[in-house]
Amino acid sequence: MTAIPVSAIPVSVVVMTRNEAANLPVCLPSLALFAECFVVDSGSGDGTPDIALSHGAQLVPFRWNGRYPKKKQWCLDTLPFAHDWVLFVDADERPTAELVEEIARLMAASSADGPRHAAYWIDGRPVVHGRPLRFGCWNRKLALVHRRRVRFPEPPDLDVASMWEVEGHYQPQVAGTTGRLRQPMHHDDAKPLSAWFDRHNRYSDWEAALRADGRMERLIDGEPDIAPSRSKRLCGIAGRRAQKRLFQRLPGRPLWAFLHAYVLRLGFIDGAAGLDHALSRAFYYWQVGFKMRSAAQVREAAARFPSVGTFPENPPIVRPGSDPYSSSNAMRSPPSAFSRSKVRLRTPGSSIR
């Protein structure tokens, strides 16, 4: 193992990949100041492993067995970390120089027991048309974690084959309190837009399935909360978990998602980029609702005409041993023009957001 410079930030970085040759050459240099970096790769065929090694990362192969733990928890359980603090970075994310400096200060100023919290929320700042958005709706996730004090839940979602090997849109359970870092990571995918549509088509499959029978509610209930600021408490604004519960129950979610990003969060100030980002959020939630309504119609038809054969809504996952990730075996969305991306058959991405 390469000697760790004295000035290196005592944090182990994990980048999970599958066919990320377009993103890694930009992602990995932004991680150079951290003590170690693992690229955990799922059989990439586009040169991703060579790129990882050329940037000095430790390459670790990963092959999912179709069960839990999935990839993030497997990393926490298995990788030979030199440090207890782990930073999860997707290949299409780039920690800003300000964020790297903030993490360095956090580690340097900590007591002998380490930082005061067990995990830290980091905002993801979307980059649209080559421009980091100043406004609009950003995502937030627990990306900097103490590996011995967090664990990802194991929801009963293995029937949703389109999500494959990486945990879905949920946060780890935390033994302790959480904090929030001020500086963001940029979310800037260098892949074609078709990859974005393919990825969010798969995400919406997962969310529609879990919302349909209450599994999403149970996941939200188990997530760590982040309290609103004092000014927001005075205005009666609830914490993250309560806001997510409310949003789950709102009618017309696509419209509310658009208004939240474009009007309430001032996305219109970012011009065309802000409009496109707000519309993409609305489109995602429209997909979720459309898939839920389609599945409900199938169930209703099956109940009314039980003698008519129908395809199962969630077919069993069957993966040949030669290709455990074959997309030909993945659950497909309802037939439509929105689920025919050729990328779905060739280069499924591994970034989960």
String of DSSP letters for 252-286: SHHHHHHHIIIIIT-GGGGHHHHHHHHHHHHHHHH
Please check the confidence at residue 207 and state whether its pLDDT lies above 70. Answer: yes
Residue range 226-236: mean pLDDT, rounded: 47
> Which of 131, 129, 148 has the alpha carbon at shortest distance from 12?
148
Mean per-residue pLDDT of the chain: 83
% of the chain with per-residue pLDDT over 90: 65
Token readout for 263 is 């009007």
> What's the pLDDT score for residue 308?
56
What pairs with residue 132 in β-bridges?
127
User: Quick one: 73 exposed, middle or buried, by C-beta within 10 A (0-12, 13-18, 19+)?
Assistant: middle
> What's the pLDDT score for residue 265?
96
Q: Point out the least confidently predicted range of 43-47, 163-167, 268-272.
A: 163-167
> What's the pLDDT score for residue 315?
54
Each residue's pLDDT tens digit, 78-115: 999 999 999 999 999 999 999 999 999 999 987 777 89
